[in-house]
Chains A and B, each alone.
Chain A
Amino acid sequence: AQRVTQPEKLLSVFKGAPVELKCNYSYSGSPELFWYVQYSRQRLQLLLRHISRESIKGFTADLNKGETSFHLKKPFAQEEDSAMYYCALSQGGKLIFGQGTELSVKP
């Protein structure tokens, strides 16, 4: 069955430290993967997607088909990065979300 797993419920780092939010998936086929973010009191919004291969707000994510992973990385965390992050897999347009990881960046 298709599934997305985010093993960390909460990730706490200090400002300036590197960040890696883990995402593993199970999918038979070529996956389309996304990272969505929900800042406090804001709606869920797209952060980045695999197909675009872009860097948004300093975040990048690389698809590793061998390890079935799509980890989100940022070399230097900022306080404004504190938010809930969801990894999602597109199944014909229907999104399958992971459980979410709350990132807390401390000053």
Chain B
Amino acid sequence: NAGVTQTPKFQVLKTGQSMTLQCAQDMNHNSMYWYRQDPGMGLRLIYYSASEGTTDKGEVPNGYNVSRLNKREFSLRLESAAPSQTSVYFCASSEAMGFKETQYFGPGTRLLVL
């Protein structure tokens, strides 16, 4: 099993450009998440999907949209990239959304917005 996979691994954008970060999991998990990781700030939740067909905002959703395409896939879209969105983006999944659930992370996408 590949676990959680993310594409691309690295991307450079110009301000105003759009792009979609892809995430897929093969663990038959119900819940999926998108985080961004910035130096000195840890990981912050952007959006999450508790189950197929539902999505909700996390701590820092502004400037992003998500799509839970099916049970396996959860994409993150930047409609008009800004330099403040330069970050490392992690996708994660868990069996369900509960206090005690372990989240499994992808390898990350490093995004640079010029």
Contact = CB atoms under 8 A, between A and B. Distances in A.
Interface in A1-41: 4, 6, 9, 32, 34, 36
Contact of A93 (B43, B98, B107): B98
A32 B99 contact: yes
Contact of A99 (B42, B100, B104): B42
Interface in A60-87: 86
Contacts of A94: 33, 45, 48, 58, 97
Chain B interface size band reads 20 to 34
B42 A98 contact: yes
B99 A97 contact: no
Given A9-B40, A44-B105, A45-B105, A90 B100 contact: yes
Contacts of B110: none
Contacts of A34: 102
Contacts of B90: 43-44
Contacts of B40: 9, 99
B99 A92 contact: yes
B22 to A, nearest CB: 16
B93 to A, nearest CB: 12
A83 to B, nearest CB: 14
Most A-side CB within 10 Å, residue of B31, B99, B106: B99
Nearest to A98: B42
Contacts of B79: none
Contacts of A43: 4, 90, 105-108
A2 to B, nearest CB: 10
Nearest to A90: B99
Interface of A: 4, 6, 9, 32, 34, 36, 43-46, 49, 51, 86, 90, 92-100
Interface of B: 4, 31, 33, 35, 40-45, 48, 50, 58-59, 90, 92, 94, 96-108
